[in-house]
Structure 1
């Protein structure tokens, strides 16, 4: 029996990207149901009209539930019981056969809880979407040097930028486009809605690994991420969300009582970095 696929995307002022997303999805492979969730944005009516015209399900939330919360709402609104759940940003364009390639890899890799495609930037460069889990040392070094010295050894190791052409295991896969086995998704109760934006994919990858599942990078499946349209106008608030999510992830990883001084140091360091990058 051919595996079934549910596609969930979360929109926020995404009227200019939803049509290309849906058009490309039509040629990407077998998809049984598509649910589009709008996070109470000003363009909800336009997005809803485009989704309805394409024959898909549209869910308009009465508040901005964040990315993970939006995905959860989409899964809950689905009428099918899929084998796989494909979560993708609305500013993604699928190459022909991309969904089928991910599903085929999932059938070949039964231990894979999540599978991620090769993600191209709008200029054709490869986005490092299959990364190692951030340790404290790597995370601090990446935060300090990632922007001013992109080729520093900690960032290079964390981003695994030189490992883009072969199928391999990763610590986590980018939530911009990731296929999650339904069994694994429900076992872990999906994305943690406590992450408003950012790190929900890191957290999911970590929890999948802890539960014995693998996160598998599948470069034969290709998508293009055209740009973060929904966040481009709110850079400062998104920087804050990124730092808040980083603290949530690291503080939970180092949650023992004796790590209290470390958690304080992480909090102060992130506050300082937030001030620096958004000053």
Structure 2
């Protein structure tokens, strides 16, 4: 199953270039195409990428004005679809580091599980510690416990998460298209929660790829920057008023 990967750089030039170099060095035959969206002007990045030989098709899209996380990935998905589109679509953060190719084992999950709509790896921090990328439905009470009581481990061993962090998601094209991709009303934060809930409600499953790990240098900007905190709170408010959140909460309570 061929894969198209979407990466968005919002001033992440060095990280995005490093990730592209790692992807090129994987020797991964499934990786057919990479779409890099440059959300802010980065002339040094774009000049350094064009004209180089890549083992995959690299498309660099320079936005005339910044767009949100979900909007950028939706546009990359639509662009890929213009020439047929790969069966699998990867959403990758530029601050990922790949220790080995994750794609073979992740694609294999789709091949043996027709219900899998999204497959995800284990996310590790730079020290090799497992990050809490698997989560339960965010409720006000759960968020208070998380931030005031430091209860960060929400999903137990062998339990299924309600949603997973979209720093690295490999999605079945038909599943992503079927739920119309990310909700672009979320500028930043919670769009991955919403996407996962809508996938689950549509009958798709979120599946872990056993033994596959990537390094994610999480920024946690909403804990340090008031503007990002405001975006996070607005996104939570939108999420809590959404039909998907309410439907999934009702399903969990029954």
Q: What is the TM-score of this pair, normalised by structure 2?
A: 0.85
Q: How does 1:76-115 map to 2 (within 5 A)?
A: 76-78=78-80, 79-115=83-119
Match of 2:238 among 237, 248, 253: 248
Q: CA deviation at 1:61?
A: 1.0
Query: Contact 1:119 / 1:129 at 8 angstroms: preserved in 2?
Result: yes
Q: How does 1:53-202 map to 2 (within 5 A)?
A: 53=52, 55=54, 56-78=58-80, 79-134=83-138, 139-151=139-151, 155-156=152-153, 159-160=154-155, 162-163=156-157, 169-202=160-193
Does the residue aligned with 1:146 lie in a helix, a strand or coil?
helix
Q: CA deviation at 1:223?
A: 0.9
Quote the residue 1:273 is aligned against: none
Quote the residue 1:48 is aligned against: 46
Q: How does 1:230-245 map to 2 (within 5 A)?
A: 235-245=225-235
Decide whether aligned partners of structure 1 residues 100 and 253 sit closer, same or farther in structure 2, where only a CA change above 3 A counts.
same
Match of 1:211 among 196, 202, 212: 202
Q: CA deviation at 1:71?
A: 0.4
Spell out, residue by residue over 1:241-264, the C-alpha distance to the aligned partner (whole angstroms, 9 max, x if none).
1111111110114999xxxxxxxx
Q: CA deviation at 1:36?
A: 0.5
Decide whether aligned partners of structure 1 residues 50 and 219 sit closer, same or farther in structure 2, where only a CA change above 3 A counts.
farther
Query: Contact 2:186 / 2:235 at 8 angstroms: preserved in 1?
Result: yes
Query: Contact 1:7 / 1:35 at 8 angstroms: preserved in 2?
Result: yes
**Unmatched tracts of structure 2, length 5 or more:** 247-254
Quote the residue 2:19 is aligned against: 21
Instruction: Name the CA distance, whole Å, in 2 between partners of 1:228 and 1:54.
Output: 31
Q: What is the TM-score of this pair, normalised by structure 1?
A: 0.78
> What is the RMSD of the two structures over their aligned residues, measured on CA atoms?
2.4
Decide whether aligned partners of structure 1 residues 21 and 80 sit closer, same or farther in structure 2, where only a CA change above 3 A counts.
farther
Instruction: Name the CA distance, whole Å, in 2 between partners of 1:113 and 1:101.
Output: 15
Query: Contact 1:6 / 1:32 at 8 angstroms: preserved in 2?
Result: yes
Instruction: Name the CA distance, whole Å, in 1 between partners of 2:218 and 2:130.
Output: 13
Query: Contact 1:173 / 1:217 at 8 angstroms: preserved in 2?
Result: no
Q: CA deviation at 1:112?
A: 0.7
Does the residue aligned with 1:194 lie in a helix, a strand or coil?
coil
Instruction: Name the CA distance, whole Å, in 2 between partners of 1:9 and 1:83.
Output: 17
